[in-house]
């Protein structure tokens, strides 16, 4: 059976790295074919999936701390639920706010399904809420205005994460388990500094201390690390290195960047730092 390479997460996920996949695939040939690749902040698994596709003989470990796999496991339920919602919204104008009576019927359908099996509220949000808003439970969804932006085709994740080893644990525990193994390559994509992490399995905001703690994993192994100029973490490390020699984990790392436009007056730069060898 021909393998399918996914260029975006099969289900909606905040912060997936689909824009960087081309750059990732450009650098992967220069990394080991048989190393252990550990995606510490696995998110939707998109990085782990693409590494496994490029390195079929490598062991790829995906830390599904956000339990994204449970959402994949519920795709059949999600598709059936969206089909029922389409039948409700088909008589209303597309891309417009749905009237209160339509919202009431949709919520009744969702509540009925939720009484029998798990409901993927994040995926439902992408079909009912505008502007990248996501809710993770029924009470949150109930408070929002609904819009007729329902996805018109079914979701599919066939073969996604095939061959990838899934774990679900705190990244520090995973790091401590493998930090003495010299064949490890870290994939590090933490939440952006001071950004809302509601759709992640975390509390509130990702703070500076959390971000600095993560940098420990970059000290003695090859890595691929994602950040943005919004965090200023690289500049902070450069400054610290002027006071504490050798304290900058990004020293001698290579860099690829990508400009991301939020709207006509707002943009930022995504960054991917990487080192092929980092034994110090």
- Listed range (62-76, 185-199, 208-222, 262-276) with the worst mean pLDDT: 185-199
Residues 189 and 235 in one domain: yes
Compare 59 and 265 and report the one with higher pLDDT: 59
Residue 63: inside a domain: yes
Last residue of a domain, one of 125, 142, 159: 142
175 and 257 belong to one structural domain = yes
Q: What percent of the chain has pLDDT over 70?
A: 86
Residue 47 and residue 104 in contact, taking contact as beta carbons nearer than 8 Å: no
Instruction: For residues 150 and 124, give the distance between their C-alpha atoms in angstroms, rounded to a whole number.
Output: 8
The CATH number of the domain holding residue 38 is 3.40.50.150
Distance CA 82, CA 155 (A): 10
> Are 182 and 62 members of one domain?
yes
Cα angle, residue 208 at apex, residues 249 and 41 outer, rounded to 5°:
70
Laid out side by side, the sheet with 165-167 consists of 165-167, 59-63, 36-39, 184-188, 223-228, 266-275, 254-263
Residues 186, 55 share a domain: yes
215 lies in some domain: yes
Instruction: Give the residue among 119, 85, 120 at the shortest CA–CA distance from 9.
Output: 120
Cα angle vertex 117, ends 115, 120, to 5°?
105
Say if residue 279's pLDDT is above 70: no
- Verify that 179 and 263 share a domain, yes or no: yes
Question: Does residue 88 fall inside a structural domain?
Answer: yes
Residues 56 and 176 placed together within one structural domain of the fold: yes
- As given in the structure block, the two tokens for residue 30 are 């220069």
Contact yes or no for 62/209 (Cβ under 8 A): no
**Domain assignment present for 81:** yes
68 or 16, greater pLDDT: 68
Q: How many structural domains compose the chain?
A: 2
- In terms of domains, do 114 and 197 share one? no
**Over 50: is that where the pLDDT of 194 sits?**
no
Contact residues for 139 (Cβ-Cβ < 8 A; gap 6+)? none
Answer whether residue 258 shows pLDDT above 80. Answer: yes
Q: Identify whether residues 172 and 265 lie together within a single domain.
A: yes
Cα 89 from Cα 127, distance rounded (Å): 11
Tell which phi-psi region holds residue 45, choosing left (phi > 0), alpha (psi between -120 and 50) or beta. Answer: left
Beta bridge mates, 139: none
Q: Is residue 49 part of a domain?
A: yes
- 67-107 per-position pLDDT tens digit: 999 999 999 999 999 999 999 999 999 999 999 999 999 99
Q: Within this chain, do residues 211 and 80 fall inside the same structural domain, yes or no?
A: no
> In this predicted model, what pLDDT tens digit does every residue of 139-191 receive, in sequence order?
999 999 999 999 999 999 999 999 999 999 999 999 999 999 999 999 999 87
Tell me the C-alpha distance between 171 and 190, whole Å: 10
Q: Which domain holds residue 119?
A: 74-142
Q: Is residue 60 domain-shared with residue 173, that is, in the same domain?
A: yes
In a domain, 5, yes or no: no
Give the bridge partners for 225, in sequence order.
Answer: 188, 273
Q: Are residues 200 and 258 in the same domain?
A: yes
* pLDDT at 267 exceeding the cut of 50: yes
- Residue 2 inside a domain? The answer is no
Res 104: pLDDT: 97
| Mean pLDDT for the chain overall | 87
- In this structure, the answer to whether residues 106 and 245 fall within a common structural domain is no
Q: How far apart are CA 24 and CA 21, in angstroms?
A: 5
List own/partner pairs for 126-130 with CB under 8 A and 24 or more apart: 126/12, 126/151, 127/82, 127/85, 127/151, 128/85
């Amino acid at each position: 059976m021909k393998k399918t390479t996914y260029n975006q997460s099969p289900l909606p996920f905040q912060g997936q790295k689909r824009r960087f996949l081309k750059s990732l695939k450009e650098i992967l040939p220069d990394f080991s074919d048989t190393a252990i690749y550990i995606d510490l902040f696995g998110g939707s698994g998109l990085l782990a999936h693409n590494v496994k596709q490029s390195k079929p003989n490598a062991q790829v470990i995906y830390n599904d701390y956000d339990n994204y796999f449970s959402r994949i496991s519920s795709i059949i339920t999600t598709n059936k639920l969206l089909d029922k919602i389409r039948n409700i919204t088909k008589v209303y104008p597309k891309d417009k706010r749905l009237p209160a009576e339509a919202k009431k019927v949709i919520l009744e359908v969702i509540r009925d399904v939720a009484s029998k099996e798990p409901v993927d509220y994040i995926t439902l949000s992408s079909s009912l809420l505008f502007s990248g808003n996501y809710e993770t439970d029924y009470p949150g969804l109930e408070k929002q205005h609904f819009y007729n932006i329902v996805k018109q085709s079914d979701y599919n994740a066939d073969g996604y994460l095939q061959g990838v080893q899934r774990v679900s644990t705190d990244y520090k525990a995973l790091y401590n388990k493998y930090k003495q193994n010299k064949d490890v390559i870290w994939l590090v994509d933490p939440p952006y500094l001071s950004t809302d992490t509601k759709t992640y399995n975390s509390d509130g905001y990702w703070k500076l201390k959390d971000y600095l703690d993560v940098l420990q994993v970059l000290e003695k192994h090859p890595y691929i690390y994602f950040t943005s100029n919004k965090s200023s973490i690289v500049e902070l490390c450069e400054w610290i290195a002027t006071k504490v020699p050798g304290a900058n984990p990004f020293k001698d790392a290579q860099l690829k960047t990508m400009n991301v436009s939020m709207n006509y007056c707002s943009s930022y730069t995504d960054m991917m730092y990487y080192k092929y060898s980092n034994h110090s």
